[in-house]
Structure 1
Amino acid sequence: MTSPSDRKHAVFPSTDPSAPLVPDEGTLQTRARTALAVERTFLAAERTLMAWLRTSLSMISFGFTLAKFFEYVANQNGAPIVGRFGGTWSPREVGTAMVVIGTVALLAAVVQHARRVGALRREGLLPQWNLAFWVAIAVAALGAFALVSIVLD
């Protein structure tokens, strides 16, 4: 049977007071696993942001196309488009709503991603360039320009 003094400790002091503390093998492995877990969590957050980016880009582009297409059809006919039940379609409002929803969702995803990356940096994530973040910012700006184009047209 081993006594507590026989066991290896994560960090053990030397008999020499000037000697540095030396971590044992288990501590080094634990640190490596923790660093890899933080990196995997960062990559998962990036994948989530890219999924929101794809969804938002689809909504922005579809809303813009829908607004412009129905505007074109209404201008060709010279009359508003009337639906099956007698209601008139307002392409500007439908398209604007989709562009607004896509842009707001993307901005919310960017804020959420920035908060998660900040929390991971406090856990030891090394600073790195985040391509998905900057592409999402560019697409959000594109959504804002599309919204301005629909509203001012």
Structure 2
Amino acid sequence: MSFQRTRLSAERTLMSVIRTALSLIGFGFTIFQVFSRGRESGVLNISTAAPSNFGMALVMLGVLLLIVGIVYHINFMRTLRAQRNAMVQHGLVHGESGYPVSYTLLTACALLLIGLYAIVTMVFDVARG
């Protein structure tokens, strides 16, 4: 049972990374869009691109956080599985149940793709095309 608790703890850690990254990406994209559209429509008379750059920086920080979180999670789970397999081979634990697919990891990867798309949209102005 301790391996299952440790695995679930790693899933909770990745969920907190997802939550933080989603907030950064969402706020950053919103800030970018509000100031970009406000400048285009003439509502905001701002000559600098600082607010848009700040929004883009938040999105990039969210994507970077997701990448680090995903890599950390994968490495941790590989180590945990290797330890469990070694303990099963030595007869210290029963290896009856396997590790299920991590839906948290799949969600993190999907959010990473969305974040990368947001960056491409902001940098290359894809949405207005």
- 2:20 maps to 1:55: yes
Within 2, Cα distance between the matches of 1:78 and 1:69?
Answer: 10
Answer yes or no: is the 8 Å Cα contact 1:52–1:105 preserved in 2: yes
TM-score, length-scaled by structure 2: 0.81
Within 1, Cα distance between the matches of 2:78 and 2:4?
Answer: 13
Answer yes or no: is the 8 Å Cα contact 2:22–2:62 preserved in 1: yes
Tell me the number of residue pairs that the alignment of Structure 1 and Structure 2 aligns: 113
Partner residue in 2 for 1:65:
30
Within 1, Cα distance between the matches of 2:107 and 2:49?
Answer: 34
The percent identity for this pair of structures is 34
Within 2, Cα distance between the matches of 1:43 and 1:78?
Answer: 49
Larger Rg: 1
Within 1, Cα distance between the matches of 2:24 and 2:76?
Answer: 24
**What are the residue-to-residue correspondences of 1:1-153 with 2, within 5 Å?**
36-77=1-42, 80-81=45-46, 88-124=48-84, 126-153=98-125
Within 1, Cα distance between the matches of 2:44 and 2:75?
Answer: 49
Within 1, Cα distance between the matches of 2:122 and 2:21?
Answer: 17
Tell me, which stretches of 5 or more residues in structure 2 are unaligned?
86-97
Provide the secondary structure at the position in 2 that maps to 1:129: coil
Larger fraction in helix: 2
User: CA, structure 1 residues 79+43, in 2 after alignment: closer, same or farther (shift >3 Å)?
Assistant: closer
Deviations 1:101-137 (A, max 9, x none): 0001011000000011111101227332100000000
Where do 4+ consecutive residues of structure 1 move more than 6 Å?
Answer: none
Tell me, which stretches of 5 or more residues in structure 1 are unaligned?
1-35, 83-87
Provide the secondary structure at the position in 2 that maps to 1:128: coil
